[in-house]
Amino acid sequence: GLGDLERGERYKNTDFVLFWVLSRMSYKQAAITYDIACQYKKNFARRVANHPALVEVDIELISWALPIWHGNVHALKCETVNSVKYRWGVGKTDGEGIERVWAILNRMAYMLKEEQPGARHDDLEDKINHHNFRKNLTLG
């Protein structure tokens, strides 16, 4: 999921995007990597309980992990407990996929800054769809 941030990254913004994604997909297990997963997961169950109309989430099916690069800047104990390197069931993911997308989207920042919200969303969606299409072409 992707969402606009009105003033910096806040739990409520991340919650909204994550609740929206989780409410629209079926899953047996969900692995979520986030650069502050060690902190974000702490009160996640309470935040879900505060918004029952938005999402029904089985907390036990969610596995939280720090992405490889972001995990390396956490304290050793935190990295050891939370890093995607040591998480069961995630394969060889590095959890940094979205960071590669940001590198592409950052080139559009000045252009997007001048656009109205609707046009900005359309342009972002087009760029992300193109990125995903190109990524799918190289699979298999």
Task: Kindly tell me if the per-residue pLDDT of 135 is higher than 80.
Answer: yes
Contact between residue 115 and residue 137 where contact means Cβ atoms under 8 Å apart: no
Task: Kindly tell me if the per-residue pLDDT of 39 is higher than 90.
Answer: yes
Question: pTM for this structure?
Answer: 0.78
* Residue from 13, 18, 15 nearest 1 by CA: 18
Positive/negative CA dihedral, 72, 75, 77, 78? negative
Q: What are the structural domain ranges in the chain?
A: 1-95, 96-140
Q: Which two tokens stand for residue 25?
A: 């997909």
**86-100 residue pLDDT tens:** 888 888 888 888 888
Q: Which two tokens stand for residue 80?
A: 């050891």
Length of the chain: 140
Tell me the average pLDDT across 9-29.
Answer: 84
Give the residue carrying structure tokens 């409520």.
12
